């Protein structure tokens, strides 16, 4: 594939024309370490070089053949073993999964549904232990059509009984379970004191500028400081002080009623609160009915900090990080000590965000971490045609973010984050999902899953394809140098397009991968990502089923001659997406969440797979551990 898709759109022509000035910029900017060292990055959208003509991937495995199947599959020489299934008991006196849907009360002591983001937190805390730790796993949502008899996805919200609704509330949220390698395979420690479920009933604290604001006060919480629970937890991140950030995405689906009674109805409309009540909560729980509790929606769609090492700890909603359909919250400890969090807002035409703390974190003084995420500057990205990226601060009183424009305070800016980003002129993206930083190069990778709604006249430099059904990956390039030398607090970065997903043989897709990409290697709908310790990117996909393909996990070099050359490692069973890829510190285990198996079936009796048990009647979303049979690191 050529270095640039041969798209005739004016946007692309502008980008091509801008290359000359960008190259002039780069040649005069030798101190931009990562860029000056750019010979390792062939296949830049902005550079003259195309992808290398021939390449040897740094990934040594034999690629998996891609087959849509009832079972998962992994490349030759690897094993994929189920570690934690929905419904598995996580307390000593709880029986094994019976094959029936647990009661709501029972579900509270069982692993949650639709596993998503995974953090592996070593035991003991602070160590680099790779065979013993805590799995901290989001449970994003439930799939009623393959849990309950006789319900479709569309009618479940109206049909579910209170017991079923309450089961759903108990099955979503977050699961923390101790795991270790025993007798050569990963297993849960059923009676661990660390095991814990966090749900939409778990007490949580609101912190940062929005805490105590009138718009987060409710009948149950007149102070606006204490929230019941977390909701629709999707992506996440890990802090250097050993906490987990869980991202609330899409609370709108869990509310019924109308926004009309809200003082910020237009804001709620912008956040998609259409009263859809997909899980039936509003019929039984007043706080999910916006007509009865108009401020309850404002208490969700934040980043929540959890201390998994203290089962008694109260999770904290860090409002300074903004309100959005939170995806990634990827944390960098910058060279000056400040903490940087990159975040995506996963919706059509939403934005790319960054938060930089005011204070520095010093690992030698752990107390410097306390509430460090409550003060700092939230910014949003504008991607320019010349390959520069500007971080635009969302700070009350700066630029258009003033009272006369409807932003009365910083809390107001945060409650209306999307509107603030509109006002400063951020670049609308193709559904920003996961972001991660390459530990070797310091470049940040931002995944755009897809955007079927993108029209020709809405193209922009970083979103170049109309009706983008396939997704793409954007590189954010901080100045300062490679790895830890990169300055993640700078106002101006460079950016590039890494790959444009799709079938490279189908010219209509304008896909762009390395030219040696195999028939099994190209992918669509990149979603969650992770880096291994050697700096290779691993991409989990969500949406391949629409193309008759299984979702799966692909490894891909980001520099050197094989830059942009993906290889298929793992495929999910029918109807499932791959989410939450997470390596142990030694790179020898890759944990993956297999989310919503069989969800493509209209109703449970038509389930397309009963993975992973293949008995009874229920498919079970599960966390899988992928390892090499010879015990070496994944992908060596
Ligand atoms: Fe929960 Fe953006 O996927
Ligand atoms: Ca996802
Ligand atoms: Ca990730």
Residue by residue, DSSP assigns 10-57 as HHHHHHHHHHHHHHHHHHT-TT-HHHHTGGG--S-SSSS--S-SS---
Atom of ligand 1 nearest to the CA of 250: 1
Structure token digits, residue 349: 């035409």
Question: Distance (Å, rounded) from C-alpha 634 to C-alpha 591?
Answer: 11
Q: Kindly state the average pLDDT of the residues 1-22.
A: 42
Nearest bound ligand to the CA of residue 433: 1
Query: Which residue is closest in CA terms to ligand 1's atom 3?
Result: 234
How many whole angstroms from 542 Cα to the centroid of ligand 2? Answer: 7
Question: Distance (Å, rounded) from C-alpha 370 to C-alpha 188?
Answer: 31
Question: Cβ of 311: how many Cβ atoms within 10 Å?
Answer: 12
Is 278 part of any domain?
no
C-alpha gyration radius of the chain: 23
Query: Which of 605 and 54 is assigned the larger pLDDT?
Result: 605
Question: Distance (Å, rounded) from C-alpha 586 to C-alpha 478?
Answer: 27
pLDDT at site 33? 34
Q: pLDDT over 70 for what percent of the chain?
A: 93
Longest dimension (CA), the chain: 68
pLDDT digits (tens, 9 = 90+) for 612-621: 999 999 999 9
Give the model's confidence band at 124: pLDDT under 50 very low, under 70 low, under 90 confident, else very high: very high
Give the model's confidence band at 54: pLDDT under 50 very low, under 70 low, under 90 confident, else very high: confident
Specify the number of domains making up the chain: 1
Is 222 part of any domain?
yes
Q: Kindly state the average pLDDT of the residues 213-230.
A: 98
Q: Which of 301, 265, 316, 330 is nearest to 417 (CA)?
A: 301
How many whole angstroms from 623 Cα to the centroid of ligand 3? Answer: 15
Is 293 part of any domain?
no
Cα 617 vs. chain centroid, distance in angstroms? 30
Whether the CB-CB separation of 625 and 569 falls below 8 Å is answered with: no
Is 99 part of any domain?
yes
How many whole angstroms from 257 Cα to the centroid of ligand 3? Answer: 34
Query: Hunting for tokens 């609160």 — which residue is that?
Result: 273
pLDDT digits (tens, 9 = 90+) for 289-300: 999 999 999 999
Atom of ligand 1 nearest to the CA of 433: 2
pLDDT at site 373? 99
Give the model's confidence band at 384: pLDDT under 50 very low, under 70 low, under 90 confident, else very high: very high
Q: Which of 461, 428, 512 is nearest to 13 (CA)?
A: 461
Q: Within 13 A of 286's CA, how many CA atoms are on the CB side?
A: 5
How many whole angstroms from 531 Cα to the centroid of ligand 3? Answer: 8
Query: Which of 111 and 636 is assigned the larger pLDDT?
Result: 111
Asked whether residue 581 carries a pLDDT value surpassing 80, the answer given is: yes
Nearest bound ligand to the CA of residue 578: 2
Asked whether residue 18 carries a pLDDT value surpassing 90, the answer given is: no
How many whole angstroms from 311 Cα to the centroid of ligand 1? Answer: 26
At 345, which CATH number?
2.120.10.30
Atom of ligand 1 nearest to the CA of 140: 1
* 3-state SS track over 96-159: CCCCCCCCHHHHCCECCCCEEEEEEEECCCCCCCCCEEEEEEEECCCCHHHCCCCCCCCCHHHH
pLDDT at site 158? 97
pLDDT at site 43? 76
State the DSSP code for 573: P
Q: Kindly state the average pLDDT of the residues 372-390.
A: 98
How many whole angstroms from 184 Cα to the centroid of ligand 1? Answer: 33
Is 150 part of any domain?
yes
pLDDT digits (tens, 9 = 90+) for 394-419: 999 999 999 999 999 999 999 999 99
How many whole angstroms from 77 Cα to the centroid of ligand 1? Answer: 31
Give the model's confidence band at 14: pLDDT under 50 very low, under 70 low, under 90 confident, else very high: low
Whether the CB-CB separation of 195 and 174 falls below 8 Å is answered with: no
How many whole angstroms from 90 Cα to the centroid of ligand 3? Answer: 25
Q: pLDDT over 90 for what percent of the chain?
A: 91
Atom of ligand 1 nearest to the CA of 232: 1
Asked whether residue 625 carries a pLDDT value surpassing 60, the answer given is: yes
First vs last Cα of the chain: how many Å apart?
26
Range(s) of the domain holding residue 550: 12-250+301-628
Whether the CB-CB separation of 5 and 510 falls below 8 Å is answered with: yes
Query: Hunting for tokens 């107390």 — which residue is that?
Result: 367
Asked whether residue 518 carries a pLDDT value surpassing 80, the answer given is: yes
pLDDT at site 49? 60
What residues flank ligand 1, with Cβ below 6 Å?
140, 234, 249, 327, 346, 433
Q: Kindly state the average pLDDT of the residues 361-385.
A: 98
Asked whether residue 8 carries a pLDDT value surpassing 50, the answer given is: no
pLDDT at site 12? 47
Question: Cβ of 615: how many Cβ atoms within 10 Å?
Answer: 7
Give the model's confidence band at 39: pLDDT under 50 very low, under 70 low, under 90 confident, else very high: very low
Asked whether residue 597 carries a pLDDT value surpassing 70, the answer given is: yes
Q: Give exposure, 364-402, as e/b (b: 16+ Cβ within 10 Å).
A: eeeeebeebbbebbbbbbbbbbbbbbbbbbbbbeeeebe
Is 558 part of any domain?
yes
DSSP result, 485-500: GS-TT-SEEEEEEEEE
Asked whether residue 3 carries a pLDDT value surpassing 90, the answer given is: no
Question: Distance (Å, rounded) from C-alpha 167 to C-alpha 143?
Answer: 12
Atom of ligand 1 nearest to the CA of 249: 1
Average pLDDT over the chain, rounded to an integer: 93
Asked whether residue 9 carries a pLDDT value surpassing 60, the answer given is: no
Nearest bound ligand to the CA of residue 140: 1
Structure token digits, residue 598: 């069989």
Nearest bound ligand to the CA of residue 247: 1
pLDDT digits (tens, 9 = 90+) for 134-187: 999 999 999 999 999 999 999 999 999 999 999 999 999 999 999 999 999 999
Atom of ligand 1 nearest to the CA of 325: 2
Asked whether residue 52 carries a pLDDT value surpassing 80, the answer given is: no
Query: Which residue is closest in CA terms to ligand 1's atom 1?
Result: 234
Asked whether residue 266 carries a pLDDT value surpassing 50, the answer given is: yes
Asked whether residue 114 carries a pLDDT value surpassing 80, the answer given is: yes
Nearest bound ligand to the CA of residue 326: 1
- The DSSP bridge partners found for residue 352 are 344
pLDDT digits (tens, 9 = 90+) for 332-359: 999 999 999 999 999 999 999 999 999 9
How many whole angstroms from 577 Cα to the centroid of ligand 2? Answer: 8
pLDDT at site 36? 33
Q: Kindly state the average pLDDT of the residues 248-266.
A: 97
Is 510 part of any domain?
yes
Atom of ligand 1 nearest to the CA of 234: 1
pLDDT at site 159? 98
Q: Which of 445, 523, 561, 463 is nearest to 63 (CA)?
A: 523
- The DSSP bridge partners found for residue 569 are none
pLDDT at site 316? 98
Q: Kindly state the average pLDDT of the residues 98-119.
A: 98
DSSP result, 276-289: --TT-GGGT-GGGB
pLDDT digits (tens, 9 = 90+) for 416-434: 999 999 999 999 999 999 9
Asked whether residue 259 carries a pLDDT value surpassing 50, the answer given is: yes
pTM summary value: 0.94
Asked whether residue 105 carries a pLDDT value surpassing 50, the answer given is: yes
Give the model's confidence band at 440: pLDDT under 50 very low, under 70 low, under 90 confident, else very high: very high
Is 169 part of any domain?
yes
Judge if the upstream peptide bond of residue 402 is cis by omega within 30 degrees of 0: no
């Amino acid at each position: 594939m050529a270095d640039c898709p041969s798209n005739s759109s004016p946007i692309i022509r502008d980008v091509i024309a801008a290359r000359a000035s960008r190259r002039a910029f780069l040649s005069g900017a030798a101190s931009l370490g990562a860029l000056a060292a750019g010979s390792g990055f062939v296949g830049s959208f902005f550079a003259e070089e195309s992808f290398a003509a021939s390449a040897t991937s740094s990934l040594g495995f034999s690629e998996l053949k891609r087959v849509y199947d009832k079972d998962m599959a992994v490349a030759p020489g690897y094993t994929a073993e189920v570690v934690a299934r929905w419904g598995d008991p996580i307390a000593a006196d709880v029986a094994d999964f019976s094959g029936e849907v647990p009661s709501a009360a029972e579900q509270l002591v069982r692993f949650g549904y639709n596993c998503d983001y995974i953090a592996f937190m070593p035991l003991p805390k602070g160590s680099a232990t790779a065979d013993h730790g805590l799995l901290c796993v989001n449970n994003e949502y439930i799939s009623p059509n393959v849990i309950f008899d006789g319900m479709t996805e569309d009618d479940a919200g109206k049909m579910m009984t209170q017991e079923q609704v309450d089961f759903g509330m108990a099955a979503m949220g977050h699961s923390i379970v101790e795991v270790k390698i025993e007798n050569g395979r990963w297993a849960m420690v059923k009676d661990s004191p660390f095991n814990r479920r966090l749900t939409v009933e778990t007490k949580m604290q609101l912190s940062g500028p929005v805490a105590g604001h009138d718009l987060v006060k409710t009948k149950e919480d007149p102070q606006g400081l204490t929230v019941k629970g977390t909701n629709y937890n999707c992506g996440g991140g890990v802090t250097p002080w050993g906490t987990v950030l869980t991202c609330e995405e899409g609370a709108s689906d869990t509310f019924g009623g109308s926004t009309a009674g809200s003082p910020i109805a237009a804001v709620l409309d912008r956040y998609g609160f259409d009263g859809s009540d997909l899980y039936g909560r509003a019929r039984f729980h007043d706080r999910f009915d916006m007509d009865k509790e108009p401020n309850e929606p404002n208490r969700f769609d934040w980043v929540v900090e959890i201390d998994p090492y203290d089962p008694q700890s109260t999770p904290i909603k860090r409002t300074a990080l903004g309100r959005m359909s939170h995806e990634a919250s990827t944390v960098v400890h910058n060279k000056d000590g400040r903490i940087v969090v990159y975040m995506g807002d996963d919706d059509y035409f939403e934005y790319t965000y960054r938060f930089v703390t005011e204070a520095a974190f010093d690992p030698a003084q752990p107390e410097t971490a306390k509430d460090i995420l409550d003060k700092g500057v939230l910014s949003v990205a504008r991607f320019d045609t010349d390959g520069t990226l500007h971080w635009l601060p969302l700070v009350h009183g700066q630029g258009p973010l003033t009272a006369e424009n409807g932003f009365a305070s910083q809390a107001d800016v945060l409650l209306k984050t999307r509107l603030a980003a509109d006002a400063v002129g951020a670049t609308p993206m193709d559904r920003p999902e996961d972001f991660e930083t390459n530990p070797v190069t310091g470049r940040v990778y931002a995944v755009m899953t897809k955007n079927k709604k993108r029209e020709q006249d809405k193209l922009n430099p970083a979103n170049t394809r109309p009706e983008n059904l396939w997704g793409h990956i954007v590189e954010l390039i901080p100045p300062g140098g490679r790895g830890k030398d990169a300055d993640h607090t700078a106002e101006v970065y460079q950016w590039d397009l890494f790959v444009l997903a799709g079938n490279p043989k189908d010219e209509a897709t304008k896909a762009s991968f390395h030219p040696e990409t195999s028939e099994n290697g190209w992918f669509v709908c990149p979603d969650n990502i992770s880096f291994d310790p050697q700096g290779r990117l691993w991409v989990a996909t969500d949406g391949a089923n629409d193309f008759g393909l299984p979702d799966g996990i692909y490894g891909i070099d980001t520099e050197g001659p094989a830059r942009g050359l993906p290889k298929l490692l793992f495929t999910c069973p029918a109807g499932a997406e791959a989410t939450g890829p997470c390596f142990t510190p030694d790179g020898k285990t890759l944990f993956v969440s297999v989310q919503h198996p069989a969800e493509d079936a209209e109703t449970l009796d038509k389930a397309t797979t009963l993975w992973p048990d293949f008995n009874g009647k229920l498919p079970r979303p599960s966390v899988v551990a992928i390892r090499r049979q010879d015990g070496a690191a994944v992908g060596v």
